[in-house]
Amino acid sequence: MLLVGVILTSCDLELQESFDFVPEVDLTDPFADMTAWEYIQTRTTLNDEGKLSGEELNYMIAAIKKAGFEEYYNQTADTTRTYLLLNNNAFTGNGDIISMVTGSASVADGETPEQVMERVDTPEKLHILRKILSYHIVDEYVAQVPTLAETNVRYYFPTFLTIYDSSIPEEDGVISFYRRERWEMRVNYAPSILPSTATSGGWNEQVRNHNYVFNNGIGHYLNDAVRNRPY
């Protein structure tokens, strides 16, 4: 009897008013109206101690300017490039780009990224810097999905290394991406058809932050530089 009473009573309830669901999370790409270069130049925030943050891109900005590669990152004719964004740690950490391009890993107290890049003062050093940057631009659009559709599979892509220097064999400019079940991406992850110089000795790297969509491609952050052959 109680159940019947509940049913009969519930029939008298008014229909719930319809409403538009507005999600709390903004799913739009916040940098989709910017080029990679325009975005990179915004990443200069200092840490709480007033020093360079390892996660920001101060050194990459100075390196791109020193190399004269602004147009590589600012062009809009090709929207299918992938930019591997080398944070400050990539310049001062294990891979130590500063050491590779200047001949010394030391940075004097108060020395700015621009001043460090002034030490790239020979054609040979400048050539190495340009090779490093061009290897971190992929000539295809690499998103976690759908590009890396299958997990635990290595996908291979050409970089701008051989576009910058056509004398370099094409296979030396190849890079690999790998996606695990938990969505994390790795670059040049072993085992691979790439040479051991790409996959061992600290030169394979996990992508730190993913899928920064720009109007001229997509970006992923790296905490260390990667390579195929030694620079």
Instruction: Indicate the residue type of 28.
Output: T
How far apart CA 52 and CA 59 sit, in angstroms, is 9
> Residue 28: what pLDDT?
83
5-14, 17-26, 127-136: which is most confident: 127-136
Residues 55-109 pLDDT 10s: 999 999 999 999 999 999 999 999 999 999 999 999 998 658 999 999 998 899 9
> How many CB atoms are located within 10 Å of the residue 169 CB?
11
How far apart CA 83 and CA 214 sit, in angstroms, is 10
Q: Given phi > 0 = left and psi -120 to 50 = alpha, else beta, which region is 17?
A: beta
Residues 120-150 pLDDT 10s: 999 999 999 999 999 999 999 999 999 999 9
* Three-class secondary structure of residue 54 per DSSP: coil
